[in-house]
Structure 1
Amino acid sequence: MSSGLDVLSGSLRVRNRTCIGSGPYNSYNCKINEVKSCPSVMSPETKRLLPPNTETVQTKPFPIRGERANYVNSPHVIAMVGLPARGKTYISKKLSRYLNWIGINTRVFNLGEYRRHATSAYKNHEFFKPDNTEAMAIRAQCAIEALHDVCQWLENGGEVAVFDATNSTLDRRRVIQNFVVNKMGFKLFFVESVCDDPAIIEQNIMEVKVSSPDYMNMNKDAALTDFLQRIQHYQERYNPLDEQLEKDVSFMKIYNTGEKVVVHKHEGHVQARIVYYLMNIHITPRTIYLTRHGESEQNLECRIGGDSNLSDRGRHYANALAAYIQEQKIEGLRIWTSWLKRTIQTVAGLHVPQERWKALNEIDAVSTITKRTIFRICHH
């Protein structure tokens, strides 16, 4: 029979063990009353505090650098991959906002900001030509500086760093792998946005890229032409993520804003949360209109809860809302309401697809409050 308790403190494990019995699997049939100490970590005073049947063995300290990549709570680097105008920055910001919202300390590191800080005012697409050795050296140095900042931030308590850059070559991704995983011991997950739909690409360019700091003093047509040439320079050396060439790398690929998603070797709950979120994200901007329901009959009586119809003024509001929305000529409009009559009646004049969601219902007040007036609740 054996019983024991391990207490881990720093690099010292204290074990209290009693062994009784005999047989081929028990070479000793007596109580162990020895203290096997580690002089480097245990003082004589500490030894005297231990019970007589205690042994201590030295263990490894908390893992650092390369070893910690195998631990569950290791910091993560999420490295974006893809050609320009594929929604990488949009995804990075949305992902950061989501992870911070669920309590994971996250920050975005945008390589374009490092490049703009390191060089003078942007001139044209030739800065991104593969044979522009001077510019290539500047861009490589900016990437190293950004990675240093990423790792320093994670060392100081950050949990997830999103490295927002094209990272479009196999060589660049191997540099990131070596720096982040092999040297620092963080977990690495690549996210590639792949898009071959010209309409989506042009929409992203016109809505985001032509208004970026690079094109601050350039008209939109010239900016569009220059940016399309910049994309061509990246395409010359573009290596998409590949399951065969990068079989030991964790990554996901998102095709055409979610038409198809490929996930390869993701690990841990953080990456699982990221995969689930990004499978449901849209990189094209969408407009959401929020409106209260029109005035209800119980609103007139200042009562809480209930499921009453609209009042006369509420119906007037519903008519005005329908007229306004119809004037906007919104393509692909969909309406969500709760299951309450007042919300359904508010949008009854809009003949577009509508969905009812119980989750949008008013919070279910307890029976002692529902249908009471605000005055009675305040003076209860």
Structure 2
Amino acid sequence: MDRMVPQRKMTFYQPNTNDDSSREQVRVPNVIALVGLPARGKTYISHKLCRYLNWIGIKTRAFNVGEYRRKACDFSNEGKSDFFNPQNLRAVKIRDECARLAMEDMGQYLENKEGEVAIFDATNTTRERRKWLVDFCKKEDRDPKFRIFFVESVCDDPEIINSNIAEVKISSPDYVGRMTEEQARDDFVRRIENYKSQYETLDEELDDELSFIRVINAGRSFYVHNVNGHVQSRVVYFLMNIHLLPRSIYLTRHGESEYNRIGRLGGDSPLSDNGLTYAQKLREYFEKENVPGDLRIWSSQKIRAAQTANHMKDLAAHVEYWKVLDEIDAGICEGLTYEDFQARYPKQFAERDKDKYHYRYPSGESYEDLVARLEPVIMELERQSNVLVVSHQAVLRCILAYFDNKNRSELPYLNVPLHTIIKLTPKAYSCEIEMFKFKIDAVDTYRAKPNEPVDNGNGNHSSLEWEYSNETTLCHSP
């Protein structure tokens, strides 16, 4: 598949064989510690990594030392750039105490088995600070000891740094509502200089005993050292597939199908007349959208999705049809209505309502299976620039849950209505989600969670005189 990313350089180093009992154990808690100067995308990496690990079923929580610092002192009085000067001993003491509190909370989180992975989001720019963190994870009375992996984000590309600074001065809680953008930029640049004066990068010789990856210039190249265990391998796999460049991802279901009209599950029916109208209007939307760069279209191989995507073939750089984007397999229930399903298989129907995420259709799939099936799609979405995904309700729920950081209980009930475009724009501290509902008739296929009020997603769309109406939300990562 073609990829709109720079050529990536990768260097791997064989694990050493020092005496570390945690290397011999399989199921041990993992700490992922960020390293790097400000404006190098550490918190962006932390948010995305936390979201990814939770999405694939590895319970993860991020501990951001900056949040502890903001609680400890009033930034308007204490937190300007001088607060990060290593010669400011009072501030150093406060920052060290905030790091200690974050570490202790992280330790309790892992020791109490609330999760499997903790992400320690801080600059960790000195060898002394990193040793403190390693010693905390390897405490003699801790059994099992925590396995620690450092992720260093290194960047000397002025364009990337300036882009990150621009994003931070707009989005960071340190600056929003406290000073002008120009003041924020000047202050943040001085903060970076304070960190530079004491920064010690990870080194394969000086830090030979550590496990780490160095992500260089937003993923143009990598250096991987001493990877140990499944979690660290997954982290490396993920980091090698993300980039920090601006782009948007568009999600849409196929137009209304003939099976939609009669309420049947799955199948491979063609579009209805309403669905064909939507396919044409979708094309017109993208003609006006003027997507920067090349637009890629990924469609499922089902007839209804392919018909929808085919209306746009000449607008895209590439159109690809992926079986992995096909709707969830309903097994023996394919082609049934919900009423048929409940009448023929009442026990199965009740089990699905009890735990929809884990429920597997007989001879079919569960949402849990679907998440595993879609992981390669998520990896490709993280690598690509602007992409339109034309797929199905269950599939798009899984993709939307990833970008919107929804948990397993929420995922199967996300509302993805027909004849709607969902535009996702990843940001440093959030993901902006816009929904464009077209004024084209379609059946409502949404089925609410049992014992909860029905929300068909149509109540807030009041601009019926427009071709489509728009809702925008900012969805923040943890």
Deviation at 1:285, TM superposition (A): 5.8
Larger Rg: 1
Among 254, 265, 274, which residue is 1:293 paired with? 254
- Residues 212 and 224, structure 2, Cα contact 8 Å, conserved in 1: yes
Deviation at 1:215, TM superposition (A): 0.8
SS class of match (2:233): helix
1:32 is matched with none
2:204 is matched with 243
Deviation at 1:74, TM superposition (A): 2.5
- Residues 294 and 318, structure 1, Cα contact 8 Å, conserved in 2: yes
What is the letter of the counterpart of residue 92 of structure 2? M
Q: 2:105 aligned with 1:164, yes or no?
A: no
2:159 is matched with 199
1:329 is matched with 290
1:113 is matched with 67
1:10 is matched with none
TM-score by length of 1: 0.74
Q: Distance between the aligned counterparts of 2:100 and 2:284, measured in 1?
A: 56
In structure 1, stretches of 5+ residues that fail to align are 1-65
- Per-residue CA deviation, residues 233-269 of structure 1 (Å, 9 max, x unaligned), is 2122221111011001111111222222221011112
- Per-residue CA deviation, residues 321-343 of structure 1 (Å, 9 max, x unaligned), is 11112222222322111122322
Distance verdict in 2 for CA 1:173–1:322, change over 3 Å: same
Distance verdict in 2 for CA 1:298–1:197, change over 3 Å: same
Distance verdict in 2 for CA 1:267–1:120, change over 3 Å: same
Q: Distance between the aligned counterparts of 1:104 and 1:297, measured in 2?
A: 39
Deviation at 1:94, TM superposition (A): 2.2
Q: Distance between the aligned counterparts of 2:75 and 2:154, measured in 1?
A: 29
Distance verdict in 2 for CA 1:113–1:376, change over 3 Å: closer
Q: Distance between the aligned counterparts of 1:73 and 1:374, measured in 2?
A: 41
Q: Distance between the aligned counterparts of 1:334 and 1:100, measured in 2?
A: 27
In structure 2, stretches of 5+ residues that fail to align are 1-19, 345-478
SS class of match (1:168): coil
Deviation at 1:189, TM superposition (A): 0.8
What is the letter of the counterpart of residue 340 of structure 1? K
What is the letter of the counterpart of residue 325 of structure 2? L
Q: Distance between the aligned counterparts of 2:339 and 2:119, measured in 1?
A: 51
Q: 2:58 aligned with 1:98, yes or no?
A: no
Q: Distance between the aligned counterparts of 1:113 and 1:300, measured in 2?
A: 50
1:134 is matched with 90
- Residues 169 and 181, structure 2, Cα contact 8 Å, conserved in 1: no
1:189 is matched with 149
Q: 2:172 aligned with 1:212, yes or no?
A: yes
- Residues 210 and 224, structure 1, Cα contact 8 Å, conserved in 2: no
Deviation at 1:153, TM superposition (A): 2.5
What is the letter of the counterpart of residue 357 of structure 1? W
RMSD over equivalenced CA pairs, Å: 2.7
- Residues 283 and 311, structure 2, Cα contact 8 Å, conserved in 1: yes
What is the letter of the counterpart of residue 234 of structure 2? R
Q: Between Structure 1 and Structure 2, how many residues are aligned?
A: 314
- Residues 338 and 359, structure 1, Cα contact 8 Å, conserved in 2: yes
Q: 2:305 aligned with 1:343, yes or no?
A: yes
SS class of match (1:104): coil
Among 304, 310, 327, which residue is 1:362 paired with? 327
Q: Distance between the aligned counterparts of 1:145 and 1:369, measured in 2?
A: 53
Q: Distance between the aligned counterparts of 1:270 and 1:347, measured in 2?
A: 37
SS class of match (1:144): helix
Q: Distance between the aligned counterparts of 2:63 and 2:262, measured in 1?
A: 54
- Residues 82 and 168, structure 1, Cα contact 8 Å, conserved in 2: yes
1:78 is matched with 32
SS class of match (1:242): coil
